[in-house]
Chain A
Amino acid sequence: MMWINLAGFGLILLIIWWFWMYKSPNVAMQDGAVEIVVKDGVYQPSTIKIAANKDTAITFTRLDASSCSETLLIPDLEINATLPLNKKVSVTIPASLPGRYPFHCQMKMYLGELIVE
């Protein structure tokens, strides 16, 4: 029983590490066209690094029929956009200060992050 309990607590620690503690490795800076595909429950890629103090256009293509994924929100930049199914939508990220700007769907089930450096 002790082993089972230890395994259970180990699992809990793993959950904490994997979902909260894990730091994503360095993401390459995007130059040129930035494209994000909304597919199968996630943004692909979900972490994007862009240059600070410069407008950047990100093209979103939603291939996921789930109605949740229809809305894209970047609350810190006061951006919201509707992503029609199977269409490319260009979202302009205005020149922003360095920082991390999360983006997500209406219910926060699709999660991503813009790293501005």
Chain B
Amino acid sequence: MNTDSHKEGAGSPHKCCQTGSEQPNVKTASRSETLEANATGNETIEHELIIDGASCASCVNKIEKALLSVSGVQSAQMNFAQRTVQVKTNVEVTKLIQAVEKADYNAKVSTSESEEEALEEKDQADWQYYKKLMRDMTFALVLGVPLMIYSLVVGEMTVNTDTERLVWLLVGLLTLGVMVFAGKHFYIGAWNSFKNHSANMDTLIALGTGTAWLYSMVVVFAPEIVPLMARHVYFEATAMIIGLINLGLALEVKARGKTSEAIKRLIGLQAKTAKVIRDDKDIDIPIEDVLLNDLIRVRPGERISVDGDVVEGHTSIDESMLTGEPMPVEKSEGGQVVAGTINKSGSIVFKATRVGKDTALAQIINMVKRAQNSKPPIGRLADVISAYFVPVVMIIAVLSALVWLNFGPSPAIAYAMVSATTVLIIACPCALGLATPMSVMVGVGKAAEAGVLIRNGEALQTASKITSMVLDKTGTITEGAPKVTDIIVAGSQTEDEILLLVASLEAGSEHPLAMAIVESAADKGISPKKVTDFASLSGMGVEATLQNKKLLFGNEKLMKQQGIAIDKFVDKAQQLAAEAKTPMYFAVDEELAAVIAVADPIKSDSIEAIKRLQNNGIRVVMLTGDNRMTAKAVASMVGITDFVAEVMPEDKAKKVAEYQANGEIVGMTGDGINDAPALAHANVGFAIGTGTDVAIESADITLMRGSLHGLADAIAVSKATLTNIKQNLFGAFIYNAAGVPFAAGVLYPFFGLLLSPVIAGAAMAFSSLTVVTNANRLRFFKAKEH
């Protein structure tokens, strides 16, 4: 790399070094983990600095020397072609920049891969390529179309007289010009592939057009060796095919651009600048310069620049662009904010916790990109066929020519040439090759728009075939955060008085039920008081003393053991249990004071979403560690008939395996932490993300929002994508399976039909375009929430 760069640099004009005022812009594309390590330790890390504007070898030396002069820099290698420097060092990146600045260059830190720039460059490159193809197309058709019209109006393009020979020689040379200027890439590609013992689309086009041109030139130069009736030229076919295929490729480039719209939208979410508080001043800096632990101020309407924790203020944040969750989320001190989301109401200050490549947004972009490029198993057959396709088509072309030569009508050689050329031209390996990846590209992007992250093509395909969906109860069907739902007062105290006493009693406990009570008290502005003589009564409850009152809180067993009369309230407690609530008794000085029920509320849309799954013919099963009564109550509330209660976390995977053994394709949905073994065991593991936590490695599909609608959306998108792939594959197979024999002339003996090579060229050019266009239809797919 380094050597190449010097070579190039040596030949470049020494512009930058002569003009001291025009300082090149240096920015780093160092990884964010690099920065983390810088902040904390002395690990040796490689930074990549991108340099704009350096255009000579001495610039390269100057920058390398400047960096090497910094103590702690082990190596600095500049790649001139890319304007990048690789620096191995254990010092802070800011010191590197200072060194570069000392050498008269401007320097700034970037922690991102600058996705947006890459995207712009890609669009620019695609546009240039499109223009080139259109130019080539025009050039070829300027010759091809008049020739074509001539052949249609005048009839056969024959070579009988010397004048005709001269005219056609001229046309042949013009066609050669078209081949060189507008079709060069086909011939070079074909030759290079041939040398590598492989064959591709270029091979077919080069052979097809080359055969037509060579035959025509033989007719022009040595008509005597060709039978009189076969003295036709086919220059129009060569020019038209080159023109049409270039047109097809150009339109395909355009259509392909649309398939990556989803990723473009995600990249577009990235803020460009951040208002960082440094030395008590707010300064706007590019997000590439934001460092870990920087304090960042965000005003209403502004976009969150990097991930962080709120340290000041309160606001609501629109996270819909990442999670698909339409309602803004309230955030206050300690709350997490995520890059790409929009601050709606208040002004906040947050501390950067993840920057550059580490932000959730960057990870999502990365994951979606990777998934978009991966292939589902359904594409494997097409891949196998592609590997043999081109040589098989070449063999068919030779066989076809032989059949025409042996059994065809006169002029057999002309028919043989036409059929061989047409076979070569009509066959389209591209349509087969494109069928799967284009749909996956659009489908995965579409899912990401709905807050569904699909890990790879295999997960996408399997998700479309799920027959059973296993749902964990807590945190999946329910909110996962128990709340006090009922306080049935038995004595003379008010609800608030009881809540104060129970909250005081439970304040020191970390049991989920205790936390629910303390939180409910806090919601009502009740602060717990300090208790004495606290004791946990294993498996039954707790006791303590407050202001000389003896407090006792626990289950029926505890009350009975302590001889407290609860008979009047047992029915009520059972009724609460039947409503999926957990009833507890509270006694003050050995008198029952209240029955308190705690429940984990069902998510507002769980019922609807489960119905959507069931309507799709999927059997929904609920697994829970809870007791049977609560499980039954929750299951019946959400419309689930299959449920298994009292399942230990480690047994969830066994249950999944049991369903699989019955021939079911099982999807498992859980929180991704406790349910990791079951998620990994299932055919497709769905992890319910908490907002925007995408680092769920055990899941095949991650739902960015808590709603189970994400699950139904994921399955709907995967089904739509698979249907789209099947349409594409079917179309591509049928096209080739029907087109090639037709081109070879199988219909000629029956109907006298033989395809023109020009029509074959048009069909081939538009077959792959059709595949891309069909994949693009998926962009309009909408998963309906009902």
Q: How far is the CB of A76 from chain B (nearest CB, A)?
A: 12
Is the pair A15, B395 in contact by a Cβ cutoff of 8 Å? yes
**Interface: B64 (CB within 8 A):** no
Pull 26 A–B residue pairs with CB atoms less than 8 Å apart, ordered by A: A5-B402, A9-B402, A12-B395, A12-B398, A16-B391, A18-B194, A41-B189, A41-B192, A42-B198, A44-B192, A65-B129, A67-B252, A82-B369, A82-B373, A84-B121, A85-B125, A86-B125, A88-B1, A88-B82, A107-B201, A107-B433, A108-B383, A108-B386, A109-B430, A109-B433, A111-B193
Known: A67-B253, A80-B373, A109-B201. A15 touches B398 (CB 8 A): yes
Give Cα A81–Cα B370 distance, bound, in whole angstroms.
8
Q: How far is the CB of A82 from chain B (nearest CB, A)?
A: 7
Contacts of A1-49 to chain B: CB distance below 8 A: 1, 4-5, 8-9, 11-12, 15-16, 18-20, 22, 24, 33, 35, 40-42, 44, 46
Q: Compute how far the CA of A5 lies from the CA of B82 in the bound complex, rounded to whole angstroms.
A: 55
In the complex, are the beta carbons of B189 and A73 less than 8 A apart? Answer: no
A71: which B residues are within 8 A, CB to CB? 373, 437
Q: A residues within 8 A CB of B432?
A: 107
- What is the CB-to-nearest-CB distance from B391 to chain A, in angstroms, rounded to a whole number? 4
Q: Nearest Cβ in chain A — how far from B366, in angstroms?
A: 11
B429 contact from A18, A73, A82, A109, Cβ within 8 A: A109
- The minimal Cβ–Cβ distance linking A30 to chain B, given in whole angstroms, is 15
Given contacts A46-B196, A80-B373, contact A108 B394 (CB under 8 A): no
Taking a contact as CB atoms under 8 Å apart, the answer to whether A73 and B375 are in contact is yes
Contacts of A106 in B (CB 8 A): 373, 433-434, 437
- Which of A24, A42, A110 has most chain B Cβ within 10 Å? A42
Shortest B82–chain A CB gap in Å is 6
Q: Which A residues are in CB contact (< 8 Å) with B375?
A: 73, 75
User: Please, what's the 1-or-0 string for B233-275, where 1 marks a CB less than 8 Å from any CB in chain A?
Assistant: 0000000000000000100110010000000000000000000
List the 10 shortest-distance A-B pairs measured between CB atoms, nearest first. Answer: A41-B189, A107-B433, A80-B373, A109-B200, A65-B129, A42-B192, A85-B125, A19-B391, A108-B386, A8-B402
Judge if A100 is at the interface, Cβ distance under 8 Å: no
Contact B122 A41 (CB under 8 A): no
A67 touches B196 (CB 8 A): no
Contact across chains for B433 and A108 when beta carbons are under 8 A apart: yes
Does the CB pair B188–A40 fall under 8 Å?
Answer: yes
Query: Does any Cβ of A come within 8 Å of B132's Cβ?
Result: yes
**How many residues does chain B have at the interface if contact means C-beta atoms less than 8 Å apart?**
57
B189: which A residues are within 8 A, CB to CB? 40-42
Q: In this assembly, does A96 line the interface, its C-beta being within 8 Å of a C-beta of chain B?
A: no
Chain A residues with a Cβ under 8 A of chain B = 1, 4-5, 8-9, 11-12, 15-16, 18-20, 22, 24, 33, 35, 40-42, 44, 46, 59, 65-68, 71, 73, 75, 78, 80-82, 84-88, 106-111
Q: How far is the CB of B497 from chain A (nearest CB, A)?
A: 62
Give the residue name and chain of the B residue nearest to A40 (CB): B188
Residues of B within 8 A of A66 (CB): 129, 185, 249
- Enumerate chain A residues within 8 angstroms of B369, measured Cβ to Cβ: 82
Q: Give Cα distance in the complex from A84 to B252, angstroms.
A: 18
B14-64 contacts to A, CB under 8 A, are: none
- Other-chain residue from B1, B118, B196, B374 in contact with A84 (beta carbon distance below 8 A): B118
CA distance A70 to B398 in the complex (A): 33
Q: Could you tell me if B402 and A67 are in contact, using CB atoms closer than 8 angstroms?
A: no
What residues of chain B lie closer than 8 Å to A8, measured between beta carbons?
398-399, 401-402, 405
CB distance from A113 to the nearest CB of B (A): 10
Q: Is B190 part of the contact surface with A, judged by Cβ < 8 Å?
A: yes
Q: Are A65 and B197 in contact (CB under 8 A)?
A: no
B675 at the interface (CB under 8 A from A): no
Q: Is B109's beta carbon under 8 Å from chain A?
A: no
- Nearest A residue (CB) for B434: A107
Select B406's contact among A1, A44, A86, beta carbons within 8 Å.
Answer: A1
Chain B residue contacts of A88, Cβ below 8 A = 1, 79, 81-82
CB contacts (< 8 Å) of B429 on chain A: these are 107-109
Task: Confirm or deny: B104 has a beta carbon within 8 angstroms of a beta carbon on chain A.
Answer: no
CB <8 Å contact, B185 and A40: yes
18 more contacts with CB within 8 A, not counting A12-B399, A42-B189, A80-B373, are: A8-B399, A9-B402, A41-B190, A41-B192, A41-B193, A42-B193, A44-B192, A65-B125, A66-B185, A67-B252, A73-B375, A80-B374, A82-B373, A88-B1, A106-B373, A108-B433, A109-B202, A110-B200
Main secondary structure of the interface of A (DSSP, over half): mixed
Are B391 and A84 in contact (CB-based, < 8 A)?
no
Q: Who on chain A is nearest to B401 by CB?
A: A8
Cβ contact within 8 Å between A111 and B395? no
Residues of chain B lying within 8 A (CB to CB) of residue A35: 1
- Given the complex of chains A and B, what is the CA–CA distance between A101 and B301 in angstroms? 50
The residue on B at minimum CB distance from A71 is: B373
Taking CB atoms, residues of chain B closer than 8 Å to A111 are: 193, 196, 198, 200
List residues 55-105 of chain B with CB under 8 A from any CB of chain A.
Answer: 79, 81-82
Are B386 and A67 in contact, with the CB atoms below 8 A? Answer: no
Tell me whether A20 and B196 are in contact in the complex, defined as CB-CB below 8 angstroms, given that A41-B190, A82-B369, A84-B125 are known contacts: no
With A42-B189, A107-B434: A20-B391 Cβ-Cβ less than 8 Å? yes
The residue among B196, B373, B394 with the most chain A CB atoms within 10 A of its own CB is B196
A20's nearest neighbour on chain B, judged by CB, is B391
| A11 nearest CB neighbor, chain B only | B398
**Residue ID in chain A nearest B184 by CB atoms:** A40
State the Cβ distance, B516 to closest chain A Cβ, in Å.
Answer: 44
* Bound: A97/B456 CA distance, A: 23
Min C-beta distance of A83 to chain B, whole Å:
10
Rounded to whole angstroms, the CA-CA distance of A2 and B305 in the bound complex is: 76
**C-alpha spacing A9/B406, complex, angstroms:** 13
In the bound complex, CA of A21 to CA of B230 (Å) = 37
Would A65 and B373 be within 8 Å (CB), given that A84-B118, A88-B82, A106-B434 are in contact?
A: no
A4 and B434 contact, CB distance less than 8 A: no
**Given the complex of chains A and B, what is the CA–CA distance between A6 and B347 in angstroms?**
84
* Residues in chain B near residue A84, CB distance under 8 A: 118, 121-122, 125
B residues near A44, Cβ cutoff 8 Å: 192
Chain B window 362-396, contacts with chain A (Cβ cutoff 8 Å), 1 for yes, 0 for no: 00000001100111000000010011101100110
Could you mark each residue 588-625 of chain B with 1 if its beta carbon is under 8 Å from any beta carbon of chain A, else 0?
00000000000000000000000000000000000000
Q: B199 within 8 Å of A by Cβ?
A: yes
List chain B residues, Cβ under 8 A from A40. 185, 188-189, 192
B197 x A18 contact (CB < 8 A)? yes
Whether a CB of chain A sits under 8 angstroms from the CB of B693 is no
Check: B641 CB closer than 8 A to any chain A CB.
no
Closest to B458 in A: A78
A65 nearest in chain B by CB position: B129
CA distance A9 to B121 in the complex (A): 49
Is B312's CB within 8 Å of the partner chain A?
no
Q: Which residue of B lies closest to A33 (CB)?
A: B1
- Give min CB distance, A6 to chain B, whole Å: 10
Among the listed B202, B390, B391, B405, which residue makes an inter-chain contact with A4, where contact means beta carbons less than 8 Å apart?
B405
Query: Beyond A41-B200, A108-B387, is A59–B1 a contact (Cβ under 8 Å)?
Result: yes
B556 at the interface (CB under 8 A from A): no
B128 at the interface (CB under 8 A from A): yes
- Residue-wise, chain B 122-134 has the 8 Å CB interface mask toward A (1 for contact) of 1001101100100
Given A73-B375, A88-B79, are A107 and B253 neighbors across the interface (CB < 8 Å)?
Answer: no
State the CA gap A75–B375 with chains docked (Å). 8
A73 touches B405 (CB 8 A): no
The smallest beta-carbon distance between B407 and chain A, in angstroms, is: 11
Partner of A67, one of B129, B192, B202, B405: B129
A65 touches B132 (CB 8 A): yes
A85 engages B197 (CB within 8 Å): no
Q: Return A37 CB to nearest CB of chain B, in Å.
A: 11
Q: Closest Cβ of chain A: how far from B151's Cβ, in Å? A: 28
Cβ-closest chain B residue relative to A112:
B196
Q: Please, which residues of chain B bring their CB within 8 A of the CB of A68?
A: 430, 433
List the B residue with the shortest CB-CB distance to A107.
Answer: B433
Inter-chain contacts of B398 with A (CB < 8 A) = 8, 11-12, 15
